[in-house]
A = this chain, B = another copy of it.
């Protein structure tokens, strides 16, 4: 793997265990990020950790998160010395792994952990690109089929950027890893697959009934 195709591992992106599950190639990392829209954003406030669920979008080698200008991460990132150290984590659960032993129970998953510093985005074009990416991450094509933010809404919205530099993915797939001496035990073992499933779209109570469900929702 050449350097351009992967992120350079660092001391904090090399896991202390299960190193064989770690991956640093951009293709794996991007595919995990692009399969989701919800991240858990960690930051430090008054010396203590805070972890908040929030939406994200990826544009090339940058992730964007947004929030009210009054939200804590926005205020912390946009202070006198801009920049907030963060850890942004995205996790997809693919299955529950049942081993004969309680000890070897596990989960199939794909996760990405990004370490870095989040900075406020002030350039208006970049802010608009970021907000479109945030809407389109969960629903590809949606940003072009909604009213764009107006000046008042833009003024109320903080956008933070986090560049993909110190990044790792972790993937577990496959069946249980039972110890050989446990294989004859009388317990079922295997995997229960798990995936998020979209239900039928529910129109807003005040939606004009002549407006049909858009095509991009049927392909989610």
Residue from the list B16, B98, B131, B175 in contact with A146, Cβ < 8 A: B98
Question: Chain B nearest CB: distance from A178 CB in Å?
Answer: 8
Residue from the list B71, B113, B202 in contact with A51, Cβ < 8 A: B113
Q: A42–B51 contact, CB under 8 A?
A: yes
Q: How far is the CA of A47 from the CA of B94 in the complex (A)?
A: 32
Q: A103–B51 contact, CB under 8 A?
A: no
- The reply on A100 being an interface residue by CB < 8 A is yes
Q: How far is the CA of A99 from the CA of B17 in the complex (A)?
A: 44
- The reply on A80 being an interface residue by CB < 8 A is no
**Number of identical monomers bound together in the oligomeric complex:** 2
Residue from the list B88, B157, B207 in contact with A190, Cβ < 8 A: B207
Return the CB mask of A112-152 against B: 1 if under 8 Å, else 0.
01010000000000000001100100110011011111100
Q: B105–A135 contact, CB under 8 A?
A: yes
Residue from the list B142, B149, B213 in contact with A103, Cβ < 8 A: B149
- The reply on A85 being an interface residue by CB < 8 A is yes
- The reply on A7 being an interface residue by CB < 8 A is no
Q: B113–A149 contact, CB under 8 A?
A: no
Complex interface: chain B residues within 8 A of A48 (CB): 12, 44, 85, 87, 115
A interface, CB within 8 angstroms of B: 12, 16-17, 38, 40-45, 47-53, 55, 68, 70-72, 75, 85-89, 91, 93, 95-96, 98-103, 105, 107, 109, 111, 113, 115, 131-132, 135, 138-139, 142-143, 145-150, 153, 157, 175-176, 178, 182-208, 211-214, 217, 220
In the complex, 19 of the A-B residue pairs with CB atoms within 8 angstroms, ordered by the A residue number, are A16-B70, A17-B71, A38-B93, A40-B40, A42-B49, A43-B49, A44-B44, A51-B51, A53-B109, A98-B139, A100-B147, A101-B146, A101-B149, A102-B147, A102-B148, A103-B150, A178-B204, A186-B208, A188-B213
